Structure 1
Amino acid sequence: MKKFKNASEIKVGVIGYGGAFNMGKSHLNEMKKAGMTPTAVAEIDKERLKVAETDFPGIETYTSVAEMLKKSDVNLLAIITPHNTHAKLAIQCLKAGRHIVCEKPLAITTAECDAMIAEAKKNKLVASTYHNRHWDGCILDAVKKVRGGAIGEVVRIEAHMGGWGQPGDWWRTSRTISGGILYDWGVHLLEYSFQIMEGEKMKEVSGFAKTGFWAPKTKWKSDSNEDEGFAVVRFQSGKWLTLNISSIESKPKEGTVEITGTKGSLVMNHGDWKLITHKDGVTVTETGKNPQGEGWKLYQNVADHIVKGEKLIITPEWARRPIHVLELAGKSAKAGTAIKVKYE
Structure 2
Amino acid sequence: MPIKLGIIGYGGMGMWHHKNAQKVGGVDVVAAFDIDAYQVNVAKEAGLKGYHSLDEFLKDEEINTVLIATPNDVHKDLAVASANAGKNVIVEKPVAMSMKEIDEIIEAAEKNNVVFTVHQNRRWDKDFNKVKKAVELGMIGDVYTIESRVHGAGGLIYGWRNKKECGGGMLLDWGVHLIDQILYMIPNKVVRVYAELFSVLNKDVDDYFKLLMKFDNGLSAQIEVGTFCLKPLPRWFVGGNKGTLVVDDFEGHGEIVKLNKLADKFDAEIVETTAGPTRTFAPRPEEVKDHFELPDVNSEWIEFYANVRDTIEGKAELIVKPDEVKKVYSIIEAAFKSNQLGKAVEL
* TM-score scaled by length of structure 1: 0.85
Counterpart residue identity of residue 142, structure 1: V
1:201 aligns with 2:189: yes
Indicate conservation of the 8 Å contact 1:43/1:49, yes or no.
yes
Question: How far apart, in 2, do the equivalents of 1:78 and 1:48 lie?
Answer: 16
Indicate conservation of the 8 Å contact 1:18/1:24, yes or no.
no
Residue 96 of structure 1 and its aligned partner are, at CA, apart by 1.7
Moved over 6 A (4+): none
Distance 1:237 1:110, change over 3 A: same
Residue 340 of structure 1 and its aligned partner are, at CA, apart by 2.9
Distance 1:297 1:237, change over 3 A: same
Question: How far apart, in 1, do the equivalents of 2:151 and 2:300 lie?
Answer: 25
Question: How far apart, in 2, do the equivalents of 1:233 and 1:111 lie?
Answer: 23
Deviates more, 1:134-143 or 1:64-73: 64-73
Pairs within 5 Å for 1:295-314: 295-314=301-320
Counterpart residue identity of residue 330, structure 1: F
- String of CA shifts for 1:104-128, please: whole Å, max 9, x gaps: 2222322222221222122221110
Residue 35 of structure 1 and its aligned partner are, at CA, apart by 0.5
Partner secondary structure for residue 260 of structure 1: strand
1:108 aligns with 2:114: no
Residue 24 of structure 1 and its aligned partner are, at CA, apart by 4.2
Query: Which sections of structure 1, spanning at least 5 residues, go unmatched?
Result: 1-5, 216-221
Alignment match, 1:46: 37
Deviates more, 1:66-75 or 1:17-26: 17-26
1:65 aligns with 2:54: yes
Larger radius of gyration: 2
Indicate conservation of the 8 Å contact 2:148/2:224, yes or no.
yes
Indicate conservation of the 8 Å contact 1:108/1:327, yes or no.
no
Query: Which sections of structure 2, spanning at least 5 residues, go unmatched?
Result: 264-287
Q: Which residue of 230, 254, 277 corresponds with 1:273?
A: 254
- String of CA shifts for 1:152-181, please: whole Å, max 9, x gaps: 112121111224543133211223223422
Counterpart residue identity of residue 127, structure 2: C
Partner secondary structure for residue 232 of structure 2: coil
Residue 252 of structure 1 and its aligned partner are, at CA, apart by 2.1
Alignment match, 1:226: 206
Alignment match, 2:323: 317
Alignment match, 1:242: 222
Question: How far apart, in 2, do the equivalents of 1:310 and 1:42 lie?
Answer: 29
Question: How far apart, in 2, do the equivalents of 1:320 and 1:185 lie?
Answer: 17
- String of CA shifts for 1:314-339, please: whole Å, max 9, x gaps: 11222232222122101110112222
Counterpart residue identity of residue 48, structure 1: Q
Distance 1:237 1:184, change over 3 A: same
Partner secondary structure for residue 258 of structure 1: strand
* TM-score scaled by length of structure 2: 0.84
Deviates more, 1:286-295 or 1:39-48: 286-295
Partner secondary structure for residue 22 of structure 2: helix
Alignment match, 2:272: none
Partner secondary structure for residue 63 of structure 2: coil
Counterpart residue identity of residue 202, structure 1: V
Question: How far apart, in 1, do the equivalents of 2:54 and 2:17 lie?
Answer: 15
Question: How far apart, in 1, do the equivalents of 2:207 and 2:125 lie?
Answer: 27
Indicate conservation of the 8 Å contact 2:10/2:43, yes or no.
yes
Alignment match, 1:17: 10
Question: How far apart, in 2, do the equivalents of 1:83 and 1:168 lie?
Answer: 15
Question: How far apart, in 2, do the equivalents of 1:336 and 1:290 lie?
Answer: 41
Question: How far apart, in 2, do the equivalents of 1:324 and 1:190 lie?
Answer: 10
Partner secondary structure for residue 237 of structure 1: coil
Residue 142 of structure 1 and its aligned partner are, at CA, apart by 2.1
Counterpart residue identity of residue 237, structure 1: N
- String of CA shifts for 1:64-122, please: whole Å, max 9, x gaps: 32221134441100111112221221111112221111112222322222221222122
Distance 1:317 1:16, change over 3 A: same
Counterpart residue identity of residue 214, structure 1: L
Q: Percent identity between the aligned chains?
A: 29
Distance 1:278 1:108, change over 3 A: farther
Alignment length, in residue pairs? Answer: 320
Q: Which residue of 116, 139, 159 corresponds with 2:148?
A: 159
Deviates more, 1:161-170 or 1:114-123: 161-170
Pairs within 5 Å for 1:325-336: 325-336=331-342
Counterpart residue identity of residue 339, structure 2: A
Alignment match, 1:214: 201
Q: Over the residues paired in the alignment, what is the CA RMSD in angstroms? A: 2.2
Partner secondary structure for residue 320 of structure 2: coil
Question: How far apart, in 2, do the equivalents of 1:135 and 1:126 lie?
Answer: 20
1:263 aligns with 2:263: no
Alignment match, 1:219: none
Indicate conservation of the 8 Å contact 1:160/1:257, yes or no.
yes
